[in-house]
Structure 1
Amino acid sequence: MATTKSSSYHHGDLRHAVLTAALEVIATEGPGALSLRDLARRAGVSHAAPAHHFKDRTGLLTAIAAEGFDLLADALADAPDLRERGVRYVRFGVEHPAHFQVMFLPDLLRGDDAALLAARARAGGELRAGVTGMPEGGRGDDARLAGIAAWSLAHGFATLLLSENLREPVGERDPEEIFRALAELLF
């Protein structure tokens, strides 16, 4: 949904308008199709306006990733156990495919960005909380390896789901229920 100059710029919502347009482009065409000039056109502002908020394409992608990690941390918070954190991780990927895609492409991001580092740490803390909440016997001798295994399962399942590689095996079944069953098998 493209916004107009009057609805975005004059109301001080240009940053949000550009982020929204960028997420639409990424979801349909991938991050490689992103151009600040095109986003300015979609937002109905001058081609230099997005640079005021993001400096450049890398800054915009970094802002999207930081927002994504914050959204992921919110989605994981207060999950009752590791399995439900995994379900919420998969749900996040499905509900926020553009964020999900950008968050895990470090070559496109400013790795030293303070907002990105804080959001990534917050999401990582929520992921680790699921592992530390497991009974010690359920996570083996190495909690860190258990965390990597759990993250790999949730991230891999979400990635395969988003890329439609699970269309046939999942069929009409609820992907969240399938993930719960997989997590039960492995954890």
Structure 2
Amino acid sequence: MLDATIAAIQEGGPTGLSLRELARRAGVSHAALTHHFADKAGLLTALAEEGYTLLADELAAERERSGDFVELGVAYVRFAIKHRAHFEVMHRPDLYNRDDSALAAAQARAEAALHQGLSMQAGGRPGKDVRLAALAAWSLVHGFASLWLNGMVPSEYAEDPDASARAIAELLIRKG
């Protein structure tokens, strides 16, 4: 079901989904789909949860691999591009059940992965507002990812999103 949902979102975005069409694509009955996901919000909640889990895994792997906060930002952009359907739903809380406990746990895990990377970057310096810095860093990479996905990045920066995200993060995080 989630694979059919991802394909449908990639074709037409998350707002126009039809459960009947998704059931047809997945080769299951509408009743089977609603048995597992109750409604469209339930299905998109499962997709958002999967997305946050994938994001947390990718951020944790990058933190282990490089230990570099800039590269954590590049991993975020890479995730958005690789998992566009998840990314689009994850950041549209009007589409899913925000109070779902499994979703909240996955969101918290992704946020913790980002904060751990920032704490490593800050070197544990006292007085460092890690939460505000994390919000600023997230704004930077999320904004770039959203611009790239919507075709709004100038052509000279659009060919290699990893390199462009890295250059922007280096400019603002290391020099800022």
Give yes or no for TM over 0.5.
yes
Confirm or deny that 1:179 pairs with 2:165.
Answer: yes
Aligned-residue Cα RMSD (Å) equals: 1.8
So what's the TM-score if we normalise by structure 2?
0.90
Contact kept in structure 1, 2:158 and 2:164, CA below 8 Å: no
- Give, as a single letter, the amino acid of the residue that structure 2 aligns with 1:97: R
Structure 1 residues 136 and 45 mapped into 2: Cα distance closer, same or farther (>3 Å)?
Answer: closer
Could you tell me how far 1:170 is from its partner in structure 2? 1.4
Could you tell me how far 1:141 is from its partner in structure 2? 3.6
Contact kept in structure 2, 1:26 and 1:98, CA below 8 Å: yes
- What is the rounded CA distance, in whole Å, between the counterparts of 1:33 and 1:123 in structure 2? 27
Residue aligned with 2:94, SS: helix
Could you tell me how far 1:169 is from its partner in structure 2? 3.7
Question: Greater relative contact order (Cα 8 A, min sep 6): structure 1 or 2?
Answer: 2
> Which structure 2 residues correspond to residues 115-130 of structure 1 after superposition, within 5 A?
115-130=102-117
Could you tell me how far 1:137 is from its partner in structure 2? 9.3
Which structure would you say has the larger Rg? Answer: 1
Kindly provide the CA deviation profile for residues 20-77 of structure 1, in whole angstroms up to 9, marking residues without a partner as x.
1111111110111211111111122222110111110000000000000000001100
- What is the rounded CA distance, in whole Å, between the counterparts of 1:48 and 1:167 in structure 2? 46
Structure 1 residues 99 and 145 mapped into 2: Cα distance closer, same or farther (>3 Å)?
Answer: same
Could you tell me how far 1:140 is from its partner in structure 2? 7.7
Aligned-residue sequence identity (percent) comes to 54
Confirm or deny that 1:22 pairs with 2:5.
Answer: yes
- What is the rounded CA distance, in whole Å, between the counterparts of 1:68 and 1:43 in structure 2? 20
- What is the rounded CA distance, in whole Å, between the counterparts of 1:154 and 1:185 in structure 2? 12
So what's the TM-score if we normalise by structure 1?
0.85
Could you tell me how far 1:139 is from its partner in structure 2? 10
> Which runs of structure 1 show a deviation greater than 4 angstroms over 4 or more consecutive aligned residues?
136-140
> Which structure 2 residues correspond to residues 93-172 of structure 1 after superposition, within 5 A?
93-135=80-122, 141-172=128-159
Structure 1 partner of 2:43: 60
Structure 1 partner of 2:18: 35
Residue aligned with 1:33, SS: coil
Query: What are the ranges of 5 or more consecutive residues in structure 1 without an aligned counterpart?
Result: 1-17
